């Protein structure tokens, strides 16, 4: 579907910029398979919460998941395993989770899991490190940023899509609904236009070896990908307190 075919009036400069940005993102996404993040090593955190222990060092060769073929159903194709129950008992944020496959080994890389928790069934992408420990929080792979849920709601670690408010830096971000990658530049959402920082004057993301997780936006500089609010964008457009262009 054309990027601007729903616009019934002459497009403004901002709209054209947004359309071009969306087109560029679509071109980038076309390099991979639909609805599939790249499968690579990547960095990131474990299935612990904020302040939790990171990457993990448990043994096991693990079996790389072929997520092109089917959804992995928890209980049928494998099961979750909490590998540090004693530590997690004192602090859920330090929990480390693996997904053990019934065919042998454990999940690595991206895995599309479906399972039910307290009567609610969801299917979503999760990412596991080379040691099989599930990642959480901000996660970067091949230059793209993703956010893997930090909420202890039964679906901890799932890929987040759409708008995300980051409590650590009190900024809004937008994760593309198609593949979960962070959107930058102009964004058209519904009938509104938003501007998400496409550049960083200085690095605003740092990997914490102690926690095994990325700290994102923890410096006195505008974080990469964060939404502009109550200010003027670099190309001269004013956005309101909700980030919408007026």
Confidence band for 218, pLDDT divided at 50, 70 and 90: low
Tell me the percentage of the chain whose pLDDT exceeds 70: 70
Q: What's the rounded Cα separation, in Å, for the pair 90 and 164?
A: 28
Computed over every residue of the chain, the mean pLDDT equals 76
What domains appear along the chain, each with residue ranges and CATH number?
66-160 (2.10.270.10), 161-245 (2.10.270.10)
Query: Residue 14: CB partners within 8 Å, gap ≥ 6?
Result: 186, 193, 235, 237, 245
Judged against a pLDDT cut of 60, whether residue 121 lies above it is answered with yes
Whether 186 and 18 have beta carbons less than 8 Å apart is answered as: yes
| Per-residue pLDDT, 70 | 65
* Mean pLDDT across 21-26: 47
| Residues sharing a CB contact under 8 Å with residue 79, sequence separation 6 or more, in sequence order | 99, 100, 102
pTM for the whole thing? 0.71
Question: Looking at 54-166, which runs of residues are DSSP E strands?
Answer: 72-73, 78-82, 97-101, 109-117, 120-128, 137-141, 144-148, 162-166
């Amino acid at each position: 579907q054309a990027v601007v075919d729903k616009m019934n009036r002459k497009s403004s400069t901002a709209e054209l910029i947004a359309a071009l940005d969306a087109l560029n993102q679509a071109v980038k996404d076309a390099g991979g398979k639909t609805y599939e993040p790249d499968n690579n090593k990547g960095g990131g955190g474990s299935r612990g919460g904020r302040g939790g222990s990171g990457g993990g060092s448990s043994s096991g060769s693990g079996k790389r998941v072929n997520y092109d073929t089917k959804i992995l159903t928890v209980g049928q194709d494998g099961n979750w395993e909490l590998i540090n129950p004693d530590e997690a008992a004192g602090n859920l944020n330090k929990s480390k989770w693996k997904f053990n496959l019934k065919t042998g080994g454990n999940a690595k890389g991206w895995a599309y899991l479906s399972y039910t928790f307290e009567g609610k069934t969801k299917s979503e992408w999760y990412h596991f490190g080379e040691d099989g420990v599930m990642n959480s929080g901000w996660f970067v792979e091949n230059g793209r940023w993703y956010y893997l849920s930090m909420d202890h709601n039964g679906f901890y670690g799932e890929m987040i899509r759409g708008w995300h408010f980051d409590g650590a830096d009190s900024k809004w971000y937008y994760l593309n609904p198609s593949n979960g990658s962070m959107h930058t530049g102009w964004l058209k959402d519904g009938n509104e236009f938003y501007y998400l920082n496409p550049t960083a004057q200085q690095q605003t993301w740092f990997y914490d070896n102690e926690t095994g997780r990325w700290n994102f936006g923890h410096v006195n500089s505008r974080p990469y990908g964060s939404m502009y609010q109550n200010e003027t964008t670099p190309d001269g457009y004013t956005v309101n307190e909700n980030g919408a262009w007026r």
